[in-house]
Chain A
Amino acid sequence: MSSAGTKLGALDAPKAKAKLRALLVEDNQLDAQLVLRALRQDFEVSALVVQDEAAFKLALHTHNPEIVLADYNLPNWKGMEALNVLKREGMDVPLILVSGALGDVTAVECIKRGATDYVLKDTLARLPESIRRALHERRERLLRRQAEEDLARKVDELARSNADLEQFAYVASHDLQEPLRMVTAYTQLLGERYRGKLDENADKFIGYASEGALRMQVLIQDLLAFSRVGRNGSGLAKVDCNAVIEEVRQTLTSSMQESGATLTHGDLPTLWGDRTQLTQLFQNLIGNAIKFRGKDAPVVSVQAEKSGQHWQFAVSDNGIGIAAEHMENIFVVFQRLHARTEYPGNGIGLAICKRIIERQGGKIWVESQPERGSTFKFTLPLGDSGEPAAQARDGEKHESSEPALGEKVGAPA
């Protein structure tokens, strides 16, 4: 029971003191004692005193200090150099300068370079408070950094699991095509080769089987088209939407003529986008407007106006409209509101539209009254910013990963 620490601790400690591992950078024994005494007012201190860089470095690792108290001027070293050592070692340990005389300018300079505080040797009484503040700030800093790291990790995990899922959907639907092709072809061959040679039921059953297989082929192709929106992208470029509409008009010629549809558009903007996908977007929307027509010939109009940081487009028709309760789920993959015999299709078109728009940073929704027509509205970012950014990179990455599917893995012998 003769160690100084214990004796001092017993002397002035009615209440339990916080423990503190301090590293002093000090050449003057007397000054070191004074500093230690100031610390012991408030802390149960275990301290090491060093005078040069080599000893300092060693002590950082053996002593693992919570705080560094450094004199400004040493015979063989400068206290501020300790900061550089801490930085190099990647250690977040606050450093407080404890100095005899430090001009204001020097003091400010030291703080700028990373010292947490400075305390003059004739006001050592404020040292404990300064240390407490430094430790508190460090704790906060750690917590914040940890929270940021957690968040970054979660975002990363989410992005990865999303990408995995997409890859899975793509590979699954891609690889399903091959065996399904066999099922389709051979049920058809059965049907053709043995028509009328088995009994009546057999022909019917074979017919159902091959119809089912054909339908499944279309579904899988749709699914692939849907997942390709997230993978391919032809890259972003300036796209004149007026030209896109004219292109769509060409593509839809036959269904427009057949239904007597008219398609008009206002003065549409030129914007940054993926031309192929924008064309598909308008084709799906206009195609739907024609397909889901009422008794009258379809009248379809495409308009656009600036709204804040976006262009807001509206594709409106005079078709059968959509009841309020369905306005959300029409954008979900394979959601259909009508019997296949009434309106053909697989319910993929609007899901693709939504995906295209969301990839380009916009939103899509519908306003409609049953029997009166629908207006599909969507936003796309203004085109004059000139920064295609994220999606373009996405596209490249995905495109380069796709062709790997062409190679056969573990081909059957």
Chain B
Amino acid sequence: MSVGIGIHPELLIVDDNPADIVLAREALSGSKYSVQISSVEDGEEALAFLNHREQYLNTMRPGLVLLDLNLPKKDGKAVLAAMKTDPELRCIPVIVFSTSKLGRDIARSYELGANCYVSKPGNLIDFFSAIKLIEEFWFGLVIAPPRGE
């Protein structure tokens, strides 16, 4: 009988805005959960990463994905749909992290299987506290799905 453990502290950020990735890294620097951050800037890149394709042959699957919606090539919803219909990836929790507050975007994200939807705050303090709350909840409190070998 396996014992539940926390989520593997490896976070994949999918965001086409490098400035947002830097902010998230800033917010998590000195993190007590030693969260490792990887980042990709478009949807195709994200799926390559998750499926160990191309230059990502040897990367670990992340414990958590922070996913922007507005992405080049393949948008966030397409990435979400691909992940949640893939038996290998569907258990990785996905946080949609977008500036959009449109009801339609929020509803669609949940329909596609997002684990939660967080609105990207407009100012630094709120942005940092959102990332910290995410960290505390997902890496400090949540128990991960057992990893099949």
Contact = CB atoms under 8 A, between A and B. Distances in A.
Interface residues of B, number: 21
B118 to A, nearest CB: 15
A189 interface: yes
Contacts of B17: 178, 182
Interface in B95-136: 99-100, 102, 104-105, 120, 122-125, 127
A403 B16 CA distance: 20
A406 B19 contact: no
Given A177-B99, A189-B124, A214-B123, A408 B23 contact: no
Contact of A408 (B19, B71, B105): B71
Nearest to A409: B70
A406 B70 contact: yes
A403 B70 contact: no
B72 A406 contact: no
The DSSP consensus for interface residues of chain A is helix
B75 interface: yes
A184 interface: yes
A185 B75 contact: no
A232 to B, nearest CB: 10
A407 interface: yes
B140 to A, nearest CB: 24
Contact of B105 (A214, A217, A403): A403
A321 to B, nearest CB: 36
Nearest to A405: B102
A90 interface: no
Contact of A407 (B16, B75, B123): B75
Interface string B58-73: 0000000000011110
Nearest to A187: B124
B88 interface: no
Contact of B99 (A181, A186, A189): A181
Interface string A383-413: 0000000000000000000110011100111
Select the residue from B75, B100, B105, B124 with max chain A CB neighbours within 10 A: B124
Given A185-B127, A189-B26, A408-B16, 9 more contacts: A177-B122, A178-B17, A184-B122, A188-B123, A406-B70, A406-B100, A411-B16, A411-B70, A411-B71
Which are the 6 A-B pairs with shortest beta-carbon distances? A188-B124, A411-B72, A408-B70, A185-B124, A403-B104, A181-B122
